[in-house]
Amino acid sequence: MQSISDLVRDVPDFPRPGVLFKDISPLLADAAGFNACIEALAEPWRQARVQAVCGIESRGFIFGAALAQALGAGFVPVRKKGKLPPPVVGIDYGLEYGTDRLEMGVGAVSRGERVLIVDDVLATGGTLEAARKLVDQLGGEVVGASVVIELAALGGRPRWTSPSPVHALLLS
């Protein structure tokens, strides 16, 4: 089996010049590699009594749903604006090139429910922090976050204001 990092392909100048895109398609296509990735994402949380895994649209759905299965937890999608039926709670957050909005269904997370937030990449940290704030709005208890890749040079980790940890499999 190839290592997890060997299954992530670098694509220079995509989606625009100067950006080095991390393509996870080869990782997803490799059954053993994807399984190893999910197991590695789950490992720090096995004793955390996670009840729900919130996966951030869209690649966070892939990792989040599989991670929820590995942890025996439910899966909750965190969606972009207008993709969920009402009622929803939402939060606007800043991107390096503008703003966006994330939403969750009202009642998707119960008060006191232990929640893990999952995404594929931690870049500038805005998306992960917005998801954390949504879980807080719904009364969930964030136990932490897991990402496959952290782009450390973009400095996203300090935007995570929760005392709970962020676990990254690969640092780039």
Question: Using one digit for the tens of pLDDT, what is the confidence trace for 62-102?
Answer: 999 999 999 999 999 999 999 999 999 999 998 766 789 99
Residue 87 included in any domain = yes
Tokens of 56: 């951030």
% of the chain surpassing 90 pLDDT:
88
Residue 19 included in any domain = no
Which residues, other chains included, contact 96 with Cβ-Cβ below 8 Å and sequence gap of 6+? 124
Whether pLDDT at 52 is above 90: yes
Count of domains for the chain: 1
For residues 140-147, give the mean pLDDT: 98
Residue 86 included in any domain = yes
Indicate which residues carry an active-site annotation.
59, 96
Residue 36 included in any domain = no
Q: How far apart are CA 145 and CA 130, in angstroms?
A: 12
Residue 81 included in any domain = yes
**What CATH number did the domain enclosing 160 receive?**
3.40.50.2020
Residue 31 included in any domain = no
Report the phi/psi class of residue 144: left, alpha or beta, with left for phi > 0 and alpha for psi in -120 to 50: left
Which residues, other chains included, contact 68 with Cβ-Cβ below 8 Å and sequence gap of 6+? 52, 53, 55, 74, 75
Residue 85 included in any domain = yes
Partners of 55 in the β-ladder: 77, 118
For residues 43-50, give the mean pLDDT: 98
Output the average pLDDT for the chain.
95
Question: Using one digit for the tens of pLDDT, what is the confidence trace for 22-42?
Answer: 999 999 999 999 999 999 999
Total length of the chain: 172
For residues 35-57, give the mean pLDDT: 98
**Per-residue model confidence (pLDDT) at position 70:** 98
Residue 99: strand, helix, or coil:
strand
Q: How far apart are CA 67 and CA 37, in angstroms?
A: 9
For residues 103-109, give the mean pLDDT: 97
**Per-residue model confidence (pLDDT) at position 94:** 82
Residue 40 included in any domain = no
Domain housing 83: 47-171
Residue 18: strand, helix, or coil:
coil
